[in-house]
A and B are shown apart, each in its own frame.
Chain A
Amino acid sequence: MAQIPDELKYTSDHEWALEEEELLVIGITDYAQDALGEIVYIELPGEGDEITKGDPFGAVESTKAVSDLYAPVSGDVVEVNEALLDSPETINEDPYGEGWMIKVRPYDPDEIEDLMDFEEYTEFVEKETEE
């Protein structure tokens, strides 16, 4: 069973978001990394780039699939985990820790409230697994 920490927020595209003071840390969930398999490549935005809620902000490729990364909120990218560019397998190994992808300064804090909490996401994953 995939790990779903209760302190995080989630999207229906299997990104997680963690509020860290005024910033939002973003990555993909354990469920997502497991479904993708061995991640061999990642593309991330640069510092200072804008991301728009619901639009792709990057992409991950595994040996099985290519998958876009969707922005949970709109905001400015203030930090990028560049270590992932050389070691994308970190996302498989530690999706909620060293596998974080970007830190964003959200334009509208209300967008964070729109994300799923862990109970909603757990239910969402269960439904998706059943299908």
Chain B
Amino acid sequence: MVEFAGWRMPVQYEGVRAEHMAVRNAAGLFDVSHMGEIEIRGKDASRFCQWVTTNDIGKLGNFQAQYTLFCNHSGGVVDDVILYKFPDESYLICVNASNASKDYEWLINANSDYDVEIIDRSPEFAQIAIQGPESAEILSETTGFDLSSIKRFRFGQFSWNGVEIIIARTGYTGEDGFEIFMPWDEAETLWRGLTAKGEHFGIKPCGLGARDTLRIEMGYSLYGHEIDEDINPLEAGLERYVVMENEDFLGKEALVKAIERGLSHKIVGFEMIDRGIPRQGYGIFKNNKLLGNVTSGTLSPCLEKSIGIGYLKNDVDYNERIQVEIRNTMREAETVNLPFYRKDVN
């Protein structure tokens, strides 16, 4: 168990590799109750959400979700979040645990004259994620719900055991799967139910360790590693989630300037050629010139290779060969396209 943003979290149950492979091949169960939930509701909820996030709310219908970002006035990332659109001008934003109280304050401060209520609902919700190709079957069997109409990045509200739960087809692993928001009292019942129904599919409970190796294989950003308030989403390779055509949003002005100036850093994925596992903070070099730093790295359980993500200076001429300094020696690596892991190929 480790301390994480004030929560006691398991790093692993059986072992990171076994848990990781269970998610890729069958299903894995994650207790992600630490995640924060903030509700925005009221007459101006859509306008307000459009103002505080970088993606386009206009694309969303009811019961649809999107990955999006909060940016500060300098264009730096305040948090990366998933925004869920409910009917009647109501949104639920799922935020990182370590940022939950910061985000809440930040949203309050961002509200100049919008007619909205901003409610921190984190204390009300437990959250369980079931991820992996067998997830839909296990979750349907456990709850009795037909989930076929809930496509990726959609969600539904269901009545289960006399309480309302939210089932969203979202996740952080690159696999099909669901994230389920529910009152705390029901979380244990659901966990036990999924474990029992999932047993013959090979479901495994998964800790923070597997959550990290799975998201690294997909090249997904983790707050505090690839993104923070000093990095803008364009540098972080998240331009797909920044819709510059949107009329106005917090941070837009700074991002427009950043584009005019040209980006000084760019995120890259790389695979090690020499032995060694890249870790956050290790230097990345080309011809002994420091180009940037590693933000995340691991031994990929699926690829059985050491992989890493890091930032490189854009104004340096480099080709695909780079070096990572590990324990005072330069190790050869080569840049590759993200994601590292592609389901149909690997």
Which A residues lie at the B interface, using CB under 8 A?
Answer: 37-38, 40-41, 43, 56, 59, 61, 63-64, 66, 68, 85
Q: Is the CB of A38 within 8 A of B277?
A: no
Minimum distance in angstroms from A94 CB to a CB of chain B: 17
**Cross-chain pairs A/B with CB under 8 angstroms, 14 sampled:** A37-B15, A38-B15, A38-B16, A38-B17, A40-B17, A40-B277, A40-B299, A41-B275, A43-B327, A59-B327, A61-B277, A63-B17, A66-B279, A85-B275
- Known A-B contacts A41-B299, A59-B327; the reply to A64 vs B17 at CB < 8 A is no
| A43 pairs with B209, CB closer than 8 A | no
* Chain B residues numbered 1-53 whose CB sits less than 8 Å from any CB in chain A: 11-12, 15-17
Closest chain B residue, CB of each to CB of A42: B275
Contacts of A85 in B (CB 8 A): 275
Of all chain A residues, the one with the shortest Cβ separation from B306 is: A41
Most chain A CB within a 10 A radius of its CB, from B213, B277, B306:
B277
- Within the complex, the shortest CB–CB distance from B293 to chain A, in Å, comes to 16
With A43-B276, A61-B277, A63-B209 known as contacts, the answer to whether A37 contacts B327 (CB < 8 A) is no
Chain B count of residues within 8 A CB distance of the other chain: 14
CB distance from B245 to the nearest CB of A (A): 43
Evaluate whether A37 and B299 lie within 8 angstroms (CB atoms) in the complex, with A61-B277, A64-B209, A66-B279 already known: no
CB distance from B10 to the nearest CB of A (A): 11
Find chain A residues with CB under 8 A from B16 CB: 38, 63
B162 to chain A minimum Cβ distance, whole angstroms, is 40
Expressed in whole angstroms, the minimum distance between the Cβ of A69 and any Cβ of chain B is: 11
The binding surface of chain B is classed by DSSP as loop
* Cα separation A63 to B209 with both chains bound (whole Å): 7
Among residues of B, the one whose C-beta sits closest to the C-beta of A40 is B299
Q: 6 closest A-B pairs (Cβ-Cβ)?
A: A63-B16, A40-B299, A38-B15, A63-B209, A61-B277, A41-B277
B11 touches A43 (CB 8 A): no
A63 to B21, CA, bound (A): 14
Q: Shortest Cβ distance from A62 into chain B, in angstroms?
A: 9
Closest A-chain residue to B19, C-beta based? Answer: A63
* Sample of 12 more A-B contacts, CB < 8 Å, known A41-B299, A56-B327, A63-B213: A37-B11, A38-B16, A38-B17, A40-B299, A41-B277, A63-B11, A63-B15, A64-B11, A64-B12, A64-B209, A66-B277, A85-B275
Task: Collect the chain A residues with CB atoms within 8 Å of residue B279's CB.
Answer: 66
**Chain B residues within an 8 Å CB radius of A56:** 327
Give chain B residues whose Cβ lies under 8 Å from the Cβ of A66: 277, 279
How far is B299's CA from A43's CA once the two chains are assembled, in angstroms? 14
Least CB distance from B328 to A in Å reads: 10
Question: Looking across the interface, which residue of chain A has its beta carbon closest to that of B327?
Answer: A59
Q: Would you give the 0/1 interface string for B85-107, flagging 1 where the beta carbon is closer than 8 Å to chain A?
A: 00000000000000000000000
Residues from chain A with Cβ under 8 Å of B213 in the complex = 63
By a CB distance below 8 angstroms, the chain B residues around A61 are 277, 299
Q: Which residue of A lies closest to B209 (CB)?
A: A63
